[in-house]
Amino acid sequence: MRTSRNKTRYLILGLLNEGPLSGYDIKKIVDWRFSYFWSESYGQIYPELARLEAEGLIGACKADEGSRKDKKRYQIKSEGLIELKKWLAEPAEKEVVRIELLLKLYFSNLTAPEVMADQVKEFEISHKRQLELFKQFEQQLAETKQLGDNHDEILMVLSFGQKVLVSYVEWSRDVIKKLEEKR
Amino acid sequence: MRTSRNKTRYLILGLLNEGPLSGYDIKKIVDWRFSYFWSESYGQIYPELARLEAEGLIGACKADEGSRKDKKRYQIKSEGLIELKKWLAEPAEKEVVRIELLLKLYFSNLTAPEVMADQVKEFEISHKRQLELFKQFEQQLAETKQLGDNHDEILMVLSFGQKVLVSYVEWSRDVIKKLEEKR
DNA sequence: CGGCGCATGTAACTTGTTACATGATTCC
DNA sequence: GGAATCATGTAACAAGTTACATGCGCCG
């Protein structure tokens, strides 16, 4: 019991607390700015938006002028804010990590080292790409630093991404080298 | 299409390739030695063992002498080894990360800094604990280094855990300090 | 007017967790 | 004999992905 789960709710509430957004917008934000620590699919976002609206935690609001009329934007209601704050006070659940690459590497004495090296290279590239995205966001943030509201908190989250992503890339390089020496 | 998934299969095959094991044994190994990059529940392991046996990729074998008679151990068959090797050659899927703590931290301007600091402390403790487990395994490995078969590969996986876990703990300390300064 | 990106949504499915039931064995 | 741990299993549920359907609006 007492398993909170359904974090999509809180992601939505958290983002909506900074301003009105559509489901599409939310997906984009997660993919761009949160990609190194979070992910969502439309199949989660749209139904959750509907549920939150039905529960009265968020409400539909007018589409932006200058944007298409079929775009549905939502804004947070006071009930939603209460729910969000409640979640913030609860302890975070232990995250589940599953890194397939490491599982493969663990058993990879059954394959040629170059096969594994290719996979680690792919891993490196993918995380370098994330690091790029990440730096773009960092820069974007530096340019628009007026929104000091949760500026400090965002910087802490960014420092996590920075540190971990760099670790991933460094580790990849080491391992690729070792695997290539094995050939 | 062509989404491989169902990694539990390969975890089981990989472990069984090093020797016969029961479902219970597998769970233990994952919790102890793989905990920083993998997890499984009994609800995944037992049905998958049954499926693998039905498909003829693994076979039941006699319980260890000196152990309880109701313990079911399995061993890998040549068909299973082929399947395992096939998976190793396929590119690894991009891992999905979801760190609830970071999501909270991102939105935590809505809470008192000490509430958040407590959560980060919990995060730190939990990863320190993992680091401990990890070091135990490392030592255990050093003692029994005769099984040189996939020794190099294991060391690479360990170096990942070492690096990332230390990053997590360092980051936690930084953030806790910053949050405490905010009070 | 065709294609692309924007935008919303859902149904079918897979994956994974939890809670529970059951019973053996060991150790005090 | 009671508690802890070993051990296997499953049913109900929750979570998450994928593939698809649909249509708007802009640009060339």
Rounded to whole angstroms, the Cα distance separating A105 from A121 reads 12
As a whole number of Å, the CA-based R_g of chain B is 20
Given a cut of 50, whether residue B88 has pLDDT beyond it is: yes
B49 C-beta neighbours (distance < 10 Å), count = 22
Confidence (pLDDT) at B2: 45
Give yes or no for residue A145 having a pLDDT over 70. Answer: no
Instruction: Note the pLDDT of residue B46.
Output: 98
pLDDT tens-digit map of A73-117: 999 999 999 999 999 999 999 999 999 999 999 999 999 999 999
CB nearest to B39's CB, from A96, A167, A182:
A96
Q: Residue B4 above 70 pLDDT?
A: no
Q: Kindly report, residue by residue over A35-44, the tens digit of the pLDDT.
A: 999 999 999 9
Strand D contacts (Cβ < 7 A) comprise: A 3, 5-8, 39-44, 68-70; B 1, 3, 22-25, 42-43, 46-47, 49-50, 67-68, 70-73, 96, 98
The enclosing H or E element of B73 equals: strand B73-76
Q: What is the average pLDDT across B49-70? A: 85
Both tokens of residue A138? 């960092």
Q: A32 or A66, which is more confident?
A: A32
Given pLDDT bands bounded at 50, 70 and 90, which one contains residue A132?
A: confident
pLDDT of residue A64: 67
Q: How many Cβ atoms sit within 10 Å of the Cβ of residue B101?
A: 24
Q: What mean pLDDT comes out for the span A17-29?
A: 95
A7 touches strand C (CB under 7 A): no
For the record, the structure tokens of B97 come out as: 């990360």
Q: Which two tokens stand for residue B152?
A: 């190099």
A92: three-class secondary structure by DSSP: coil
Taking only residues 101 to 160 of chain A, the set having a beta carbon closer than 8 angstroms to any beta carbon of chain B reads: 101-111, 115-116, 118-119, 122-123, 126, 149-150, 152-154, 156-157, 159-160
Average pLDDT over residues B54-65: 87
The candidate with the shortest Cα–Cα distance to B126, out of B108, B103, B101, is B101
**% of chain A at pLDDT higher than 90:** 76
d(CA B162, CA B156): 10
Q: Which of A150-154, B10-14, B131-135 has the lowest mean pLDDT?
A: B131-135
Res. B75: pLDDT tops 90: yes
Cα separation of A100 and A95, whole Å? 16
**B56: its two tokens:** 């003829």
